[in-house]
C-alpha cells in the first residue's frame, strides 16, 4: 500500500498548510520521499511563502532547513559557474544559452527557489561545438573516460557531447547542440526555440518563457528515465503559474505546433490538471479535439500518471514499477530507429545482467 498518492504529494506542495497537522510518523515518510525526489528544499520555500513553516513540528523544520541551506549553496554555485562559462566562451565569441536548472536559477523563476541542480546545461550552435569543447577542456573542464560504445553514442547520435566536469570544483557541465537526439528524427529546429532568448541579471542568455516551458515538457515526456519526473512536473506547474497570460498560451501553442511536440504538451496539461489541480488552460480545447482518444487517455491516466510517482520504496508498487518499465521502453523507442535500438539494448542489458548478479561495481576498472 502506497503511503501517499500523487495528488496528496502535490497537495502538500501547493497547499503546504495541509501538512501542519500531519502526525510525526507521516512527516518522517514525507521527508524521505521529498528528499529522494529533490523536492525537500522546494517544500521549505513553499511553506515559508505560505507562512506555515513556523507551524511545522521541530522535527520537520530541522530537515527542511538543512535541505534549504544545501539548495541555497547550489544556487550560488550555479550563478558562479554560469558566469564563468559565459566569460570563458565570450572569448571565442560564443554565447551559450542556459537550460533547465541553470535557466530557472538565472531567470529567478519561482521554481528556482530550493531547486536542486545536478549539472549545468548549456546550448551552443552545432558549428561551434568543436571550439567550445576545446576551449572548455583547456580551462580545467574535462570528460570522464568513456567506453568506446558510450563515446560513439554521444558523438554520433546524441544532442550533447559527453558530460564535462570541472577538475577542481567537480561541477558537471552538459554541452548541448539540440534539445533532443537527432538520431530520433524528432529533434526540433533549434532556431524556433532560441528566437526569443532573454538575458539574465548577470548577462547570461536563457530561453524565453514559453520556450522554457516547452523545453521542460520535451525533456520530461520524451525521457526514458522518470526518476525526477514528479519534480520536473512541479517545475512546469510553477513556471506556468508564474508566466501564464494570453500571449504565453498563444506562444506555447504555436511553438508546440511548429516543433511537433503538441502531443507532449497535451499529456502535460492533462497531468497538471489531474495531479496539481491546475485550471483548464485556454488552449486545451483545441488540443482535445486533435488528441483526445480513449487509448491516449489510458496512456496518460495509467502509464504516465503512475510513472510520475516519485521512485521511493514507500511508494513503489506493481503498477508504478510496470509503468516505469514501459516508459523506459517507450523512451528508448522514441530515441532511436529500431535497428540501432536493438543493438543498444543488447549491450546495455548485458552489462546490467552482470551487475545484477555481481554488484554494481563489478565492471569498474580496478
Binding site for other proteins (CB under 8 A): 24-25, 27-28, 32, 35-36, 57, 59, 62-63, 65-67, 69-70, 73, 76, 311-313, 355-361
Decide whether 36 or 174 has the Cβ nearer to other proteins. 36
CA 28 to chain centre: 26
Decide whether 195 or 353 has the Cβ nearer to other proteins. 353
Return all residues near 255 (Cβ < 8 A) that are at least 6 apart.
192, 193, 210, 211, 214
From first CA to last CA, the distance across the chain in angstroms is 42
Question: Closest approach of Cβ 272 to other proteins, in Å?
Answer: 26
Decide whether 171 or 278 has the Cβ nearer to other proteins. 171
Decide whether 25 or 93 has the Cβ nearer to other proteins. 25
Question: Closest approach of Cβ 56 to other proteins, in Å?
Answer: 13
Question: Closest approach of Cβ 69 to other proteins, in Å?
Answer: 4
Question: Closest approach of Cβ 324 to other proteins, in Å?
Answer: 14
Question: Closest approach of Cβ 26 to other proteins, in Å?
Answer: 9
Decide whether 144 or 280 has the Cβ nearer to other proteins. 144
Decide whether 57 or 162 has the Cβ nearer to other proteins. 57
Question: Cα–Cα distance between 37 and 30 in angstroms, integer?
Answer: 10
Question: Which residue(s) pair with 11 in the sheet?
Answer: none
In contact, 256 and 265? CB cutoff 8 Å:
yes
b/e sequence 106-137, b meaning 16+ C-beta within 10 Å: bbebbbbbbbbbebbbbbbeeebbeebbebbe
Question: Closest approach of Cβ 301 to other proteins, in Å?
Answer: 27
Question: Closest approach of Cβ 34 to other proteins, in Å?
Answer: 12
Question: Cα–Cα distance between 70 and 121 in angstroms, integer?
Answer: 20
Question: Closest approach of Cβ 25 to other proteins, in Å?
Answer: 6
In contact, 206 and 107? CB cutoff 8 Å:
yes
Decide whether 282 or 359 has the Cβ nearer to other proteins. 359
Question: Which residue(s) pair with 206 in the sheet?
Answer: 98, 198
198-199 and 205-206 beta bridge pairing: antiparallel
Q: What angle do CA 11, 13, 16 make, to 5 degrees?
A: 85
Question: Closest approach of Cβ 75 to other proteins, in Å?
Answer: 11
Decide whether 93 or 365 has the Cβ nearer to other proteins. 365
Decide whether 62 or 155 has the Cβ nearer to other proteins. 62
Amino acid at each position: 500500500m502506497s503511503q501517499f498518492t500523487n495528488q496528496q504529494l502535490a497537495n502538500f506542495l501547493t497547499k503546504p498548510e495541509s501538512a501542519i497537522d500531519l502526525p510525526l510518523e507521516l512527516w518522517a515518510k514525507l521527508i524521505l520521499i521529498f528528499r529522494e525526489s529533490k523536492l525537500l528544499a522546494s517544500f521549505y520555500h513553499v511553506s515559508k511563502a505560505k507562512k506555515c513553516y513556523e507551524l511545522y513540528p521541530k522535527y520537520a523544520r530541522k530537515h527542511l532547513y538543512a535541505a534549504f541551506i544545501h539548495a541555497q549553496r547550489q544556487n550560488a554555485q550555479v550563478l558562479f559557474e554560469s558566469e564563468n562559462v559565459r566569460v570563458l566562451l565570450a572569448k571565442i565569441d560564443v554565447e551559450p544559452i542556459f537550460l533547465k536548472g541553470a535557466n530557472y536559477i538565472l531567470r529567478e523563476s519561482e521554481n528556482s527557489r530550493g531547486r536542486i541542480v545536478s549539472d549545468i546545461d548549456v546550448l551552443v550552435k552545432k558549428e561551434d561545438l568543436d571550439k567550445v569543447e576545446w576551449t572548455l577542456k583547456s580551462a580545467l573542464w574535462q570528460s570522464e573516460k568513456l567506453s568506446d560504445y558510450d563515446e560513439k553514442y554521444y558523438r554520433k547520435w546524441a544532442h550533447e557531447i559527453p558530460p564535462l566536469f570541472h577538475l577542481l570544483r567537480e561541477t558537471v557541465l552538459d554541452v548541448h547542440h539540440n534539445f533532443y537526439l537527432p538520431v530520433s528524427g524528432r529533434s526540433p529546429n533549434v532556431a524556433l526555440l532560441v528566437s526569443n532568448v532573454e538575458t539574465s541579471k548577470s548577462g547570461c542568455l536563457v530561453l524565453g518563457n514559453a520556450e522554457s516551458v516547452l523545453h521542460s515538457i520535451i525533456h520530461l515526456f520524451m525521457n526514458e528515465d522518470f526518476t525526477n519526473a514528479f519534480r520536473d512536473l512541479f517545475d512546469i506547474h510553477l513556471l506556468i503559474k508564474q508566466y501564464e497570460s494570453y500571449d504565453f498560451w498563444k506562444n506555447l501553442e504555436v511553438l508546440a505546433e511548429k516543433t511537433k511536440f503538441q502531443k507532449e504538451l497535451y499529456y502535460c496539461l492533462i497531468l497538471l490538471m489531474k495531479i496539481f489541480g491546475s485550471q483548464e488552460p485556454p488552449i486545451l480545447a483545441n488540443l482535445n479535439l486533435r488528441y483526445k482518444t480513449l487509448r491516449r487517455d489510458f496512456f496518460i491516466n495509467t502509464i504516465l500518471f503512475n510513472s510520475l510517482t516519485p521512485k521511493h520504496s514507500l511508494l513503489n508498487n506493481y503498477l508504478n514499477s510496470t509503468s516505469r518499465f514501459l516508459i523506459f521502453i517507450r523512451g528508448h523507442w522514441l530515441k532511436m530507429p529500431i535497428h540501432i535500438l536493438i543493438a543498444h539494448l543488447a549491450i546495455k542489458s548485458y552489462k546490467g545482467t552482470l551487475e545484477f548478479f555481481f554488484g554494481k561495481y563489478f565492471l569498474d576498472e580496478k
